């Protein structure tokens, strides 16, 4: 089997085996960049914010917390813009990867169930933090800004990068559905390496469940016929509720 393209001297033929090799190289490069390059850029962006904005070190607790998550927000949108440019250069788009697809009831059910289980698990920490559980769903002030920033950024950027882009490229590289779910899920877990600043055990305690959650959303993406909206919504709800408060208290504790 062959793929046909157009060169400067007319049509040329690319063997399918060569195309598979090219897609395998591309998807593994993307895997490494997302798994390790993204947390690296988040760390660099966070350090830049700390250095460039005095309030990041000397402002109120709320100001410092917001600025502490700014690096991650900036880095993830940079990656999404880079992915958009890359796709455009290859005559692809987010739409072709299902970014605007609404999926089906199976995709919605699994995506929301996974988010609900994670949110419920996170809510168990609220009594220890002395916070009413209702605050997870009705944040105010700084916490509302943080919830929206993290929820929208993670819900859109991470789903486009790890589900739509990476899973689609593993498919085109010839990997089966199991590998399409597991390998990007592992990369999703590694992309949260930044949490190891709170200690290896704390970091692993976040990365492993995150990888599993990413795999569940990967299954939901496939069940929804590669419609990404259910995963985006579920991811937003997960990060904008209890998880935002947990991030705040982890940051508060790290001030020591």
The tens digit of pLDDT for each residue in 174-227 reads 999 999 999 999 999 999 999 888 788 888 999 999 999 999 999 999 999 999
What is the structure's pLDDT at 20?
75
Alpha-carbon dihedral sign for residues 72, 74, 76, 82: negative
Mean pLDDT, range 112-140, rounded to an integer: 94
2 or 223: which leads in pLDDT: 223
State pLDDT tens for residues 36-89.
Answer: 999 999 999 999 999 999 999 999 999 999 999 999 999 999 999 999 999 999
User: What span, in angstroms and rounded, lies between the C-alpha atoms of 140 and 62?
Assistant: 12
Segments forming the whole domain that contains residue 54: 2-254
State pLDDT tens for residues 7-39.
Answer: 444 444 445 667 778 889 999 999 999 999 999
In contact, 114 and 233? CB cutoff 8 Å: no
Q: Produce one character per residue of 146-163: b if its CB has 16 or more CB atoms within 10 Å, e if not.
A: bbebbbbbbbbbbbbbbb
The structural domain count of the chain equals 1
What percentage of residues in the chain have a pLDDT greater than 90? 80
User: What span, in angstroms and rounded, lies between the C-alpha atoms of 172 and 65?
Assistant: 41
Other Cβ atoms closer than 10 A to 171: 17
Say yes or no to pLDDT of 151 above 60: yes
User: What span, in angstroms and rounded, lies between the C-alpha atoms of 32 and 35?
Assistant: 5
User: What span, in angstroms and rounded, lies between the C-alpha atoms of 1 and 82?
Assistant: 32
What is the structure's pLDDT at 17?
66
């Amino acid at each position: 089997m062959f793929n046909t393209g157009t060169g400067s001297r007319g049509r040329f033929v690319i063997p399918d085996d060569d195309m598979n090799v090219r897609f395998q190289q591309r998807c593994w490069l993307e895997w490494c960049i997302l798994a390790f390059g993204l947390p690296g850029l988040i760390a660099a962006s966070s350090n830049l914010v700390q250095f460039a904005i005095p309030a990041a070190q000397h402002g109120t607790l709320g100001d410092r917390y917001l600025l502490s998550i700014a690096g991650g927000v900036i880095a993830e949108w940079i990656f999404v813009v880079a992915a958009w440019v890359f796709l455009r250069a290859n005559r692809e788009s987010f739409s072709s990867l299902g970014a605007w697809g609404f999926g089906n009831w199976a995709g919605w059910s699994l995506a929301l169930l996974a988010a609900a289980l994670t949110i419920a698990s996170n809510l168990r920490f609220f009594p220890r933090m002395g916070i009413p559980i209702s605050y997870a769903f009705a944040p105010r002030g700084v916490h509302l800004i943080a919830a929206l920033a993290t929820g929208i950024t993670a819900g859109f950027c991470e789903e486009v990068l790890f589900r739509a882009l990476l899973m689609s490229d593993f498919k085109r590289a010839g990997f089966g559905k199991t590998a399409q779910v597991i390998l990007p899920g592992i990369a999703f877990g590694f992309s949260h390496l930044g949490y190891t600043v709170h200690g290896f055990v704390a970091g692993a305690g976040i990365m492993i469940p995150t990888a599993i959650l990413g795999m569940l959303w990967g299954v939901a993406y496939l069940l929804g016929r590669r419609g990404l909206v259910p995963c985006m919504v579920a991811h937003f709800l997960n990060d904008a509720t209890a998880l935002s408060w947990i991030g705040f208290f982890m940051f508060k504790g790290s001030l020591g």
